[in-house]
Amino acid sequence: MLLILPTSTYRAADFLDAAEALGLELSVASEEPVPLLDPDRFVPIDCARPEESAERVTAFAVRRPIDAIVPVDDRGVLIAALAARHLGLPHNPPDAAAATRNKGMLRRVLARGEVPQPRFGLATSDGVVDVAEQVGYPVVIKPLSLSAGQGVLRADDADEARAAEERIRRILVTAGLDPNQPLLVERFQPGPEIAVEGILYGGELDVLAVFDKPDPLDGPAFEETILITPSRLHPEVLDEALAVARRAVRTLGLMEGPVHIELRVTDGRPWILEVAARSIGGLCGRALRFGLLGTSLEVLLLRHAVGRPKPELRRERPAAGAMMVPIPRAGILRAVHGREAALATDGITDVQITAPPGSRIAPPPEGDRYLGFLFARGDDPGAVERSLRRAAAQLVIEVE
Ligand SMILES: Nc1ncnc2c1ncn2[C@@H]1O[C@H](COP(=O)(O)OP(=O)(O)O)[C@@H](O)[C@H]1O
Ligand SMILES: [Mg+2]
């Protein structure tokens, strides 16, 4: 198996553990050599150059045959699709993978399939206010290629739209991207937000979990915090959300591997915000355990990748959740106190502070790295939510 591990991914350890648990013979494609890995099992790639990187992978496969390619996060999905097509391995069509990597392309493809989604328009430089007026306020303005809420801002009128555009273009400069790239302008879709986690087996979506996001996400910036499963939405609304999610996947033409689909429910009806050909971000996947043995999400994904049949494993019975620890303000992280107290909180199963002391942190829209993660289990979603909030209140975060 070839794992595509972008240098900055949060997912490396969990996928490496899963590969070991399954006894898979592993090679790694990454931007930098991996310590302790046999250099013969390493393929250098550049996630910003998917075609070239896919060629490197296919050349490598001549020396060392590959049965499966797994991109652990967004940045590798197109490389994996291109290389797997070339090698005749099960894969997502590269066009479908590419559409999930460009928010404008995603909207255009979903529009062709008449999948419910926010009204949208693409604004070239200086055109944001015009497009916002056509779309209708309030709007959400975002770059085409970033993630984790980076560069995503709500605007309620023309002044806010102009200010948001300026701020987003500065974020693009800092990210080393073209600041004059078109921006996506969408109608703000009110209502509760959910995330659907699943695996595609030959185009069939197996839903692993649906997460609620109980903190209101009304902007102007969108910092994700709590995720809790099972969802507390009405079962009929949930069924409808899954039907819309399936329609989005079919319209895009995604076929194999993980999908992470974000929807909002407005007036009881689900609308697609985003479809990604990856599993849930950061370390949040650790909230999910399957079957009696507590099999991990990554083990399920690797099993799928090596062609094993869909297991009859359901998510464990307790409610579960994760919290992306909110970043209090931008600056240099000096210390996080209270980890022990957070971990001792009833229902809390793990506390992971991922930002190293001395590193620069910032909440969205500027930031794109997480501070850390809390995990909880409980009898019901309400108990999990209370545990996460109590534990978060124990943390004292020193930012200079
Ligand atoms: N059209 C919209 N209406 C309401 N909220 C939105 C809209 N677009 C984005 N958001 C909010 O911003 C968050 C991040 O936007 P998204 O498009 O998912 O980009 P990414 O997750 O790649 O940063 C969403 O999870 C949602 O809370
Ligand atoms: Mg998103």
175-198: per-residue pLDDT in tens? 999 999 999 999 999 999 999 999
Confidence band, pLDDT 50/70/90 cuts, at residue 33: confident
Confidence band, pLDDT 50/70/90 cuts, at residue 8: confident
CB-count burial class (<10 Å; 0-12, 13-18, 19+) for 116: middle
* String of DSSP letters for 231-252: --S-HHHHHHHHHHHHHHHHHH
Of 4-18, 206-220, 321-335, 342-356, least confident by mean pLDDT is 4-18
Q: Is residue 280 in some structural domain?
A: no
What does the pLDDT average to over 91-115? 97
CB contact set of 82 (below 8 Å; sequence gap of 6+): 50, 51, 54, 94
- Tell me the CATH number at 374: 3.30.470.20
Confidence band, pLDDT 50/70/90 cuts, at residue 121: very high
Q: Is residue 370 in some structural domain?
A: yes
Ligand 1 atom with minimal separation from the 120 CA: 1
Q: Tell me, what's the pLDDT at 126? A: 77
Residues 7 and 52 in one domain: yes
DSSP 125: T
- Tell me the CATH number at 86: 3.40.50.20
Structural tokens at position 376: 């909880």
Residues 6 and 95 in one domain: yes
Ligand 1 atom with minimal separation from the 189 CA: 3
Residues 90 and 130 in one domain: no
Strand, helix or coil at 382?
helix
How many domains is the chain built from? 3
Task: Look up the domain containing 90 and give its range.
Answer: 2-99
Q: Tell me, what's the pLDDT at 125? A: 80
Q: Tell me, what's the pLDDT at 177? A: 93
> In this model, does residue 171 exceed pLDDT 80?
yes
Candidate from 168, 222, 260 with most ligand 1 atoms within 8 A of CB, to mutate: 222
Q: Rounded to the nearest whole angstrom, what is the distance from the C-alpha of residue 152 to the centroid of ligand 1?
A: 7
Helix (H) or strand (E) holding 392: helix 381-394
Of 138, 160, 187, which one is at a domain's C-terminal end?
187
Of 66, 99, 132, which one is at a domain's C-terminal end?
99
Average pLDDT, the chain: 96
Residues 16 and 94 in one domain: yes
Confidence band, pLDDT 50/70/90 cuts, at residue 173: very high
Q: Tell me, what's the pLDDT at 283? A: 96
Q: Rounded to the nearest whole angstrom, what is the distance from the C-alpha of residue 205 to the centroid of ligand 1?
A: 23
Ligand 1 atom with minimal separation from the 364 CA: 23
Residues 138 and 57 in one domain: no
Q: Rounded to the nearest whole angstrom, what is the distance from the C-alpha of residue 147 to the centroid of ligand 2?
A: 6
Task: For ligand 1, say whether the CB of 219 is within 6 Å of any of its atoms.
Answer: no
Cα separation, 379 vs 158, in Å, equals: 47
50 residue type, one letter: P
Q: Is residue 299 in some structural domain?
A: no
Residues 93 and 123 in one domain: no
Q: Is residue 43 in some structural domain?
A: yes
Where does residue 335 fall: left (phi above 0), alpha (psi -120 to 50 degrees), or beta otherwise? beta
Task: For ligand 1, say whether the CB of 139 is within 6 Å of any of its atoms.
Answer: no
Ligand 1 atom with minimal separation from the 186 CA: 1
Q: Is residue 388 in some structural domain?
A: yes
Task: For ligand 1, say whether the CB of 107 is within 6 Å of any of its atoms.
Answer: no
Q: Is residue 14 in some structural domain?
A: yes
pLDDT tens for each residue of 374-392 = 999 999 999 999 999 999 9
Task: For ligand 1, say whether the CB of 142 is within 6 Å of any of its atoms.
Answer: yes
pLDDT tens for each residue of 218-250 = 999 999 999 999 999 999 999 999 999 999 999
Sign, CA dihedral 73-107-194-183, equals positive
Q: Tell me, what's the pLDDT at 98? A: 97
Helix (H) or strand (E) holding 107: helix 103-112
Q: Is residue 77 in some structural domain?
A: yes
Q: Rounded to the nearest whole angstrom, what is the distance from the C-alpha of residue 179 to the centroid of ligand 2?
A: 21
Ligand 1 atom with minimal separation from the 148 CA: 23
Residues 83 and 161 in one domain: no
Task: For ligand 1, say whether the CB of 193 is within 6 Å of any of its atoms.
Answer: yes
Of 140, 171, 187, which one is at a domain's C-terminal end?
187
Task: For ligand 1, say whether the CB of 211 is within 6 Å of any of its atoms.
Answer: no
What does the pLDDT average to over 36-47? 91
CB contact set of 341 (below 8 Å; sequence gap of 6+): 394
The residues pairing with 49 across neighbouring beta strands, listed in sequence order, are: none
Q: Tell me, what's the pLDDT at 306? A: 95
Task: For ligand 1, say whether the CB of 217 is within 6 Å of any of its atoms.
Answer: yes
Residues 94 and 147 in one domain: no
Confidence band, pLDDT 50/70/90 cuts, at residue 35: confident
Q: Rounded to the nearest whole angstrom, what is the distance from the C-alpha of residue 23 to the centroid of ligand 2?
A: 33
